[in-house]
Amino acid sequence: MNLTAPTSLVARRGAVIQRSLRPLTRHNMGPAWQQVANAYGLVIAAHDGSSASDDFASWRFPSLVPFIRCSYYERWFRVEKSDSWYLDRAYLHLYRFDAATRKETEFVLLHCDPNEAESEAHSRYKRSPHLHISLASDPFPHAHISLNLTDIEATIGSLDGLGKAFSSAIMMLCEEVLPLYQLEGD
């Protein structure tokens, strides 16, 4: 099992997530966060500070670009007969928000599924951080563009390894993707 952690460490994940997402936001602290226990296990999700819904997948927080919104969540499952949890997924999504229509369009997804079974198709690409470009024409949005293919084991071998990989990917999005949209908004 990859990326396991004791309950005490998982309980502190919100603050770690908040720090790692800080570069995406204008807020010095990063987005607000909340833990939600549900049928999925335990979810730690980021939001703008006003989340009221139990539907963590609908929570958003603003990015550096006024019309780009983000969502982030981690889903953890308890390891049977122990005080440990394993990370099932860590998902960051970027959305373009159209104020005139009040609709948002998902365009870039940063995913990590560290416990994807090695026997599953595409697991080599899905287990470490990977991108989906959802605005591309089909079938490209379904491609898993791995960002850490040469060091998967180091990336998913510890929360520190995953944290470094995700932080690097977030900085790449901040430096290579968001500025393109900032120019569009000017």
Per-chain mean pLDDT for the chain: 92
Q: What is the pLDDT of residue 15?
A: 95
> Which position has the token pair 């770690």?
16
Question: The dihedral of CA 156, 160, 165, 169: what is its sign?
Answer: positive
Q: What's the pTM value of the predicted model, to 2 decimals? A: 0.94
The predicted-structure confidence for 46-103, as pLDDT tens digits, reads as follows 999 986 788 899 999 999 999 999 999 999 999 999 999 999 999 999 999 998 999 9
Alpha-carbon distance of 129 to 110, in angstroms, equals 7
Q: Which helix (H) or strand (E) holds 97?
A: strand 84-98
Residue spans of the domains in the chain: they are 4-185
Q: Which amino acid is at 11?
A: A
Question: Alpha-carbon dihedral of residues 76, 78, 82, 87, nearest 10 degrees?
Answer: -30
Alpha-carbon distance of 90 to 73, in angstroms, equals 6
| Residue 166, strand partner residues | none
The 3-state DSSP class for residue 59 equals coil
The 3-state DSSP class for residue 98 equals strand
The predicted-structure confidence for 161-182, as pLDDT tens digits, reads as follows 999 999 999 999 999 999 998 7
pLDDT grade for 127, boundaries at 50, 70 and 90:
very high
Closest residue by Cα to residue 39 from 21, 14, 52, 56: 56
